Chains A and B, each alone.
Chain A
Amino acid sequence: MTTITETRPVPATPSRTAGSGQKVTGRRVLRSEWAKLWSLRSTWITLTLGLLFLFAVGVIAAVQYRSMTGPGKHLDPGLADATTQSLALFGVPFALVALVALGVLGVLTTSGEYTSGMIRSTLAAVPRRLPVLWAKAAVHGLIAFVLSVIGVFVAFLVASGILSRTPIAMSVTDGGVVRSLLGAGLYLGLVAVIGVALGALLRSTAGGISALVGTFLLVPSLMSLLPRSWRTDVTPYLPSSAGESVFALHHTAGTLSAGAGLLVLLGWTALVLGGAAHRLVRSDV
């Protein structure tokens, strides 16, 4: 048997009693997930893009509306019944890009763990597993909510400045506006949580993003394929429609109330999150 003859100092490791207060707690897992999120470049890129779209699209829509309401101009019927609030939020369909950005960030945070192999380090540190999912959902939901609220408030304020003295001018103090803007934040926060859950459920970035985009962008437009009677019964309960009810300023007969919409969206979130939790606990990594 060969022996190592080379002399080398023993690595300085402090006595094992030094870390007796070290154990896994929910709070520490949250702290870890928070640090993980901000230590990736993709987070900064996606959040910046998401905020930029949220803001820019609202402002562009406002400017466009203003230029079209000049004397002798024909007003696009889609814009005719707009409000400042709807322009600043999702009056223009491609403002959904903001939604996609926040949702995609949620997907990336969980699917990225699997595609990179980081999940093995993560679950070796937190082998009970579920705290990781709850922490990721909480961190992403909170960040998406806070940033969206900031984004939509700023967009609303700028848009209402541009749109003052037009037929749709509104101010923050008008009835329902604050509720609507906060509702938009809640909606996007829950979309982020759904993204986290989809990533954990499918363990694949492409799969998670497809599922997310499919749910929020494709399914609503596919509803037109259904018979009319079904369509009116089903459509309000889709995650996208329910979510839109949460921040809609005016509710029509075909849409849910803000509260009901929020409950339905929470139901969808719980469903996907439950599926993700089930897979996380049951499957090998």
Chain B
Amino acid sequence: MIEARQLTKRYGPKTAVDGLDFTVRPGSVTGFLGPNGAGKSTTMRMIIGLDAPTAGSVTVNGREYAKHAAPLREVGALLEARSIHPGRTAFDHLMALAYTHGIPRARVDEMIELTGLGSVARRRAGAFSLGMGQRLGIAAALLGDPQTVMLDEPVNGLDPEGVLWIRNLLTDLAAAGRTIFVSSHLMSEVALVADHLIIVGRGRVLAGTTVQELVRQAGGDTVAVASADPARLRGLLAGPGVEITASTGSEQLSVTGMSAREIGTRAAEHGIALFELTARTVSLEDAFMALTKDAVEYHSETTVARAA
């Protein structure tokens, strides 16, 4: 359980995180979504005490991360920025972290096995590819057998195989009852694994929702109908749970709450000719873009946009 209350971080005049309130519930997969620069990484660093909040607080299982006797058993974190000394081997890196908690060597070997690093465990991490570095970061995150696993942009820059591996890992961890908090700027990536969504933009929570809810809110599953007599058709389709919008002078209607099949049948029964009958499922990406449109820090005229 991660609870943020009015969590705020300012760097000089710039407010990176602006009064965030959210809860990551135990046993769920929560996606943390937002465009680059929305404050996701900063928030995650504050959760594990690397950055101190300017105001507000964030707790892990009821208390500050730093106040736990065995922090690595509470939250295992994979941060976006590389957090490994390039001169140390994967095994030595994990051992150094394991020693701080008295984690046995067997657990280190097990994590190396789990992340598929067996063949490179004795090689210096500086020579690792991005994917291998990410696997080592995940091995370190899982080392303390944490109740909560937190990953910042875990699939960024990975090849398809790496992306699939992370996706499966998250699904497996979720199935094993772990709490997962995963950030991404890609809706499609998060939608595959997340139950809950916390959507942020410019340091604020834009929505705390679920995937289904988001689609519904964004006016998902709309059917576009065009006919010669939209006014009459509108009257025929109206009913409880059905929402119809039309723009004046247009022969097109947007209908939600009714399937294309039902609309077509109803029109045929009353002899209305239809010119168009299209089911328009709003993609998650569209819904997300609509939400964050105003919160995107750098629009496409800036090509190199970096996450804070």
B interface bracket (residues with beta carbon within 8 Å of A): 35 or more
Residues of B contacting A121 in the complex (Cβ-Cβ under 8 angstroms): 83-84, 93, 97, 140
When the two chains form their complex, are residues B99 and A28 in contact, meaning their CB atoms are under 8 A apart? yes
A161 to chain B, nearest CB (A): 39
Among A6, A22, A116, chain B packs the most CB atoms within 10 A around the CB of A22
Residues of B contacting A225 in the complex (Cβ-Cβ under 8 angstroms): none
> 1/0 per position for B125-151, CB-CB distance to A under 8 A?
000000000000000101011010000
Q: How far is the CA of A61 from the CA of B88 in the complex (A)?
A: 38
B69 in complex: contacting residue of A1, A24, A120, A123, CB < 8 Å: A24
When the two chains form their complex, are residues A10 and B69 in contact, meaning their CB atoms are under 8 A apart? no
A70 within 8 A of B: no
Residues of B contacting A8 in the complex (Cβ-Cβ under 8 angstroms): 168, 172
Nearest chain B residue, comparing its CB with the CB of A19: B145
> 1/0 per position for A214-255, CB-CB distance to B under 8 A?
000000000000000000000000000000000000000000
Residues of A contacting B95 in the complex (Cβ-Cβ under 8 angstroms): 35, 39
B277 within 8 A of A: no
B212 within 8 A of A: yes
Residues of A contacting B191 in the complex (Cβ-Cβ under 8 angstroms): 1-2
Nearest chain B residue, comparing its CB with the CB of A1: B211
When the two chains form their complex, are residues B97 and A284 in contact, meaning their CB atoms are under 8 A apart? no
When the two chains form their complex, are residues B212 and A123 in contact, meaning their CB atoms are under 8 A apart? no
Nearest chain B residue, comparing its CB with the CB of A14: B145
A42 within 8 A of B: yes
> 1/0 per position for A168-181, CB-CB distance to B under 8 A?
00000000000000
Nearest chain A residue, comparing its CB with the CB of B76: A124
Residues of A contacting B79 in the complex (Cβ-Cβ under 8 angstroms): 120
Q: How far is the CA of A127 from the CA of B71 in the complex (A)?
A: 8
When the two chains form their complex, are residues A124 and B72 in contact, meaning their CB atoms are under 8 A apart? yes
When the two chains form their complex, are residues B71 and A125 in contact, meaning their CB atoms are under 8 A apart? yes
A4 in complex: contacting residue of B72, B82, B171, CB < 8 Å: B171
B234 within 8 A of A: no
Chain A, range 1-45, C-beta contacts under 8 Å to B: 1-2, 4, 6, 8, 10-14, 16, 18-19, 21-25, 28-29, 31-32, 35-36, 39-42
B114 within 8 A of A: yes
Q: How far is the CA of A22 from the CA of B45 in the complex (A)?
A: 23
Chain B, range 40-76, C-beta contacts under 8 Å to A: 45, 48-52, 65-66, 68-73
Q: How far is the CA of A1 from the CA of B69 in the complex (A)?
A: 39
When the two chains form their complex, are residues A23 and B50 in contact, meaning their CB atoms are under 8 A apart? no
B132 to chain A, nearest CB (A): 16
When the two chains form their complex, are residues A113 and B85 in contact, meaning their CB atoms are under 8 A apart? yes
A117 within 8 A of B: yes
Q: How far is the CA of A252 from the CA of B97 in the complex (A)?
A: 50
B268 within 8 A of A: no
A118 within 8 A of B: yes
Nearest chain A residue, comparing its CB with the CB of B64: A127
Q: How far is the CA of A168 from the CA of B272 in the complex (A)?
A: 119
> 1/0 per position for A128-140, CB-CB distance to B under 8 A?
1100000000000
Residues of B contacting A40 in the complex (Cβ-Cβ under 8 angstroms): 85, 87-88
B77 within 8 A of A: yes
B175 within 8 A of A: yes
B176 within 8 A of A: yes
Nearest chain B residue, comparing its CB with the CB of A282: B52
B102 within 8 A of A: yes
When the two chains form their complex, are residues B71 and A284 in contact, meaning their CB atoms are under 8 A apart? no
When the two chains form their complex, are residues B87 and A42 in contact, meaning their CB atoms are under 8 A apart? yes
When the two chains form their complex, are residues A126 and B100 in contact, meaning their CB atoms are under 8 A apart? yes
When the two chains form their complex, are residues A28 and B142 in contact, meaning their CB atoms are under 8 A apart? no
Nearest chain B residue, comparing its CB with the CB of A29: B100
When the two chains form their complex, are residues A118 and B70 in contact, meaning their CB atoms are under 8 A apart? no
Q: How far is the CA of A35 from the CA of B108 in the complex (A)?
A: 14
When the two chains form their complex, are residues B101 and A117 in contact, meaning their CB atoms are under 8 A apart? no
Residues of A contacting B69 in the complex (Cβ-Cβ under 8 angstroms): 23-24
B96 in complex: contacting residue of A18, A22, A39, A42, CB < 8 Å: A39
Known contacts A19-B73, A19-B103, A35-B95, A118 near B85 by CB under 8 Å: yes
Q: How far is the CA of A31 from the CA of B104 in the complex (A)?
A: 13
Residues of B contacting A123 in the complex (Cβ-Cβ under 8 angstroms): 49-50
Nearest chain B residue, comparing its CB with the CB of A2: B192
- 14 A-B residue pairs with Cβ-Cβ distance under 8 Å, sorted by A, are A10-B172, A11-B176, A13-B110, A14-B107, A22-B72, A28-B101, A31-B99, A35-B92, A36-B88, A116-B87, A120-B81, A124-B49, A124-B50, A127-B65
A residues engaging B (CB < 8 A)? 1-2, 4, 6, 8, 10-14, 16, 18-19, 21-25, 28-29, 31-32, 35-36, 39-42, 112-113, 116-129, 284-285
**Closest 4 pairs between A and B when the two form their complex, measured CB to CB:** A127-B66, A39-B92, A32-B99, A120-B83
